[in-house]
């Protein structure tokens, strides 16, 4: 019998759904998962028909982190230059939404931090327990979590290793939308549709500016923003957006 793929992909109305498919192992990360997620991100970036991606997990769990059995075999769930799960060091230019059911734990939480927005079931749980094992959350959480929540809260999560509820994550601004259990993917698809309806060049440029701004000085920021924005304002899509508004119709984006 053929084994099920470790990662599934589905295209739906301009949205690429990427599902880590190891429910028997709580979607723990392996080298195979990393390679397949990286390939899915390449597909997202190279296909103009794809506007947004959703990353989720099968079987009611987002991701429980690194597969320890694979680790003991000497296998790494990272890819050189791309990071854990093939994504933490090199997130896509296009928007990526996490749809979380169950646990987003350890490396799974760090994969979540590589996503731009998070939709979570009310029963989801989030945590970075590495310090409980005398380890450091080095795949992104120690650096990125203080950019997503206030520093004292980030330190509490990192230094205690204790998990938090989806409601607490929502209250902190780490989660965009909460849903009843089992509803995270459907709500993520609604959020993705709202993003995909907009001009793809403008969406990508807006993400790049927002994600990069904290690394820029104020003077550098205005210059870099202008450089990123300029091609958008002279694009066919920009003209189409204005024309569609004047003609009171829905725009037809071409991504150029």
Measured between alpha carbons, how far apart are the two ends of the chain, in Å?
A: 45
Task: Tell me the pLDDT of the chain (256 aa) as tens digits.
Answer: 456 799 999 999 999 999 999 999 999 999 999 999 999 999 999 999 999 999 999 999 999 999 888 777 888 899 999 999 999 999 999 999 999 999 999 999 999 999 999 999 999 999 999 999 899 998 899 999 999 999 999 999 999 999 999 999 999 999 999 999 999 999 999 999 999 999 999 999 999 999 999 889 999 999 999 999 999 999 999 999 999 999 999 999 988 8
The CA dihedral of 88, 25, 35, 11, to the nearest 10 degrees, is -90
102/11 Cα distance (integer angstroms): 24
pLDDT at 245: 92
Under CATH, to which class is 7-196 assigned? alpha beta
- Per the structure block, which two tokens stand in for 230? 């300029």
To the query of whether residue 187 is one of the catalytic residues in this protein, the response is no
Catalytic residue among 10, 80, 122, 130: 130
pLDDT at 4: 77
DSSP 4: P
pLDDT at 2: 53
pLDDT at 80: 93
At residue 182, the 3 state secondary structure works out as coil
Catalytic residue among 110, 181, 220, 240: 110
Task: Please answer whether residues 16 and 53 qualify as being in contact, where contact means their C-beta atoms are separated by less than 8 angstroms.
Answer: yes
To the query of whether residue 110 is one of the catalytic residues in this protein, the response is yes
pLDDT at 1: 46
């Amino acid at each position: 019998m053929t084994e099920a793929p470790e990662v599934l992909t589905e295209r739906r109305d301009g949205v690429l759904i990427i599902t880590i498919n190891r429910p028997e192992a709580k979607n723990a990360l392996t080298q195979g998962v990393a390679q397949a997620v990286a390939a899915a991100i390449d597909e997202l970036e190279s296909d103009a028909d794809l506007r947004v991606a959703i990353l989720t997990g099968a079987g009611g769990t987002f991701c429980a982190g690194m597969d320890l059995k694979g680790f003991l075999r000497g296998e790494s769930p990272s890819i050189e230059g791309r990071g854990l799960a093939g994504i933490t060091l090199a997130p896509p230019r296009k928007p990526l939404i996490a749809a979380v059911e169950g646990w987003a734990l350890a490396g799974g939480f760090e994969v979540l931090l590589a996503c731009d927005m998070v939709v979570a079931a009310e029963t989801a749980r989030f945590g970075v327990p590495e310090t409980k094992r005398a380890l450091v959350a080095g795949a992104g959480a120690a650096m990125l979590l203080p950019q997503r929540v206030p520093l004292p809260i980030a330190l509490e999560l990192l230094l205690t290793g204790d998990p938090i509820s989806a409601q607490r994550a929502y209250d902190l601004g780490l989660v965009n939308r909460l849903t009843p259990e089992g509803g995270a993917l459907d709500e993520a698809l609604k959020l993705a549709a709202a993003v995909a309806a907009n001009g793809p060049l403008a969406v990508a440029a807006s993400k790049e500016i927002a994600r990069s701004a904290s690394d820029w000085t104020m003077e550098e920021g205005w210059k870099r923003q202008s450089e990123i924005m300029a091609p958008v304002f002279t694009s066919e899509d920009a003209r189409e957006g204005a024309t569609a508004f004047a003609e009171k119709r829905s725009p037809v984006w071409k991504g150029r």
